[in-house]
Chain A
Amino acid sequence: MPDPGSYILLGAVLFAIGLVGFLARRNLIVMFLSTEIMFQGVVLNVIAFGRLHGKMTGDVYGLFLLVIAAVEAGLALGLIVLLYRRKHTLDAETWSAMSG
């Protein structure tokens, strides 16, 4: 089993890829898929830290992270349906009226 340093670097890389996707893509669905990738990186990190201390707490945190991810996906997809109904596009740029 690789040591926690490998998992921390891997989690950081997955988080960074998700961050790039969230910032750079304009399709709302792809943006929220990117946040799910960021969640994967965090789950890997949490488990690695739990193993580092030899406790099960990391696994429990990972399960609660899954709950948060499910909640976020449900609400985000509801929002996407609502926004699509208003303007019939998935482009996030159409909702930039408040960016000045």
Chain B
Amino acid sequence: MNSAIPYIVYALFALGGAAVYLAMPKPSGSQRRAALVLGMGAVAGLMVLLGTQFVAPNSNNFFFYLFASIAVLAAGRVVTHPIPTYSAVYFALVILSVAVLLVIQRAEFLAVALIIIYAGAILVTYAFVIMLAQQSGAASADVQAREPLTAILVAFVITGAIAGRIEQLDSIPINPTSHRVAQNESSEIDTAGQLGLDVEKEHTRGIGALMFGPYVIVVELSGILLLIAMVGAIAISRKRVPIDDTGEPRIPIGQIGREAPPF
């Protein structure tokens, strides 16, 4: 691979960082149009680079580039939009694009789970909290970012460290159903291989064989983790009822939220 590639990637990251910096909310108003032009330029450059450097020729990856661009631009808008409700809507766009990218990787089950859990459950919870905790008018916390330049520098260093190593990936096989399974790596973890499953065709069956085979204890542990988190969330956010001298709550339990404000 061309040794200049990491520097082109650094330049594109710097361009994208400048776009995020310009789009960050400021009291004087953000330069949204310039940020959009810069950001789209950076994303387009990144996609052209990926298309010319990392992909076998004559493969049709139009949808990867389309939805990767949508995901990156929408993610940039999530972190720069001054109104949290709009951030949540753009986050839904990120989720849908990532789900499409997972489908392209033949991970249909995970894509469906992502949409159900994120767009269906987590995002609705966020919407509830935004509704409960919304101040009237724009808060000062939303129009003044905290040290955006430092934050962008930190992110640039981290992505740069990854991109600097990206050329070493050149020697890695491109074929998704790689031959490595056939090598001596086939440990007991490789249940899908043992069952003779084709990763590309029997994706959901393979996940089931793994989750209820070698990973069954982890599945049980995640159930316990979810239960603990539920108990913790209820304990953290419950409304304390004031008690008077007779030991009775001053407000009847059923009236909390009607007569007394929920917060």
Contact with A along B170-181 (1 / 0, CB 8 A): 101111111111
Question: Which residues of B lie under 8 Å from residue A30 when comparing CB positions?
Answer: 78-79, 81, 84, 87, 142
- Given the interface pairs A2-B50, A13-B72, A59-B207, the reply to whether A24 lies near B87 with Cβ below 8 Å is no
> Within the complex, what minimum Cβ distance (angstroms) separates B258 from chain A?
18
Partner of B146, one of A8, A37, A85, A93: A93
CB neighbours (8 Å) of B101 from chain A are 7, 10, 44
Given the interface contacts A16-B159, A54-B199, A64-B222, does A80 sit within 8 Å of B146 by beta carbon?
A: no
- List of B residues within 8 angstroms of A10 by Cβ: 50, 68, 71-72, 101
* Residues of B with C-beta under 8 A to A48: 105
A1→B178 CA distance, assembly (Å): 13
Contacts beyond the supplied A9-B163, A21-B79, A71-B226: 10 A-B pairs with Cβ under 8 Å: A3-B174, A6-B64, A8-B162, A9-B9, A21-B80, A33-B126, A55-B190, A66-B117, A80-B129, A90-B133
Taking CB atoms and an 8 Å cut-off, the chain A residues in 24-45 that contact chain B are 24-27, 29-30, 32-34, 36-37, 40, 43-44
Q: Are B55 and A91 in contact (CB under 8 A)?
A: no
B126→A73 contact, CB < 8 A: yes
B residues whose Cβ falls under 8 Å from a Cβ of A: 9, 13, 16-17, 20, 24, 46, 50, 53-56, 59, 61, 64, 68, 71-72, 75-76, 78-81, 84, 87-88, 91, 94-95, 98, 101-102, 104-107, 109-110, 113-114, 117-118, 121-122, 125-126, 129-130, 132-133, 135, 139-142, 144-148, 150-152, 154-156, 158-159, 162-163, 166, 169-170, 172-181, 185, 189-193, 197, 199, 203, 206-207, 209-211, 215, 218, 222, 225-226, 229-230, 232-234, 236-237, 263
Q: In the bound complex, how far is the Cα of B225 from the Cα of A4, in angstroms?
A: 31
**Number of residues of chain A lying within 8 A (CB) of chain B:** 72
Report whether over half of chain A's contact residues are helix, strand or loop; otherwise say mixed: helix
Say yes or no: B107 contacts A62, CB within 8 Å. yes
Q: Which of A5, A17, A80 contacts B20 (CB 8 A)?
A: A17
Also in contact, A59 and B84, with CB within 8 A (given A16-B155, A43-B114, A82-B236): no
Residue in B71, B102, B147, B175 whose CB lies within 8 Å of A24: B147
- Cβ contacts under 8 Å, A88 to chain B: 135, 263
CB neighbours (8 Å) of B155 from chain A are 16-17, 19-20, 23
Kindly report which residue of chain A lies nearest to residue B222, judged by CB atoms.
A67
Assess whether B172 is in contact with A4, with CB atoms less than 8 Å apart: yes
A24 touches B126 (CB 8 A): no
Residue of B with least CB distance to A32: B126
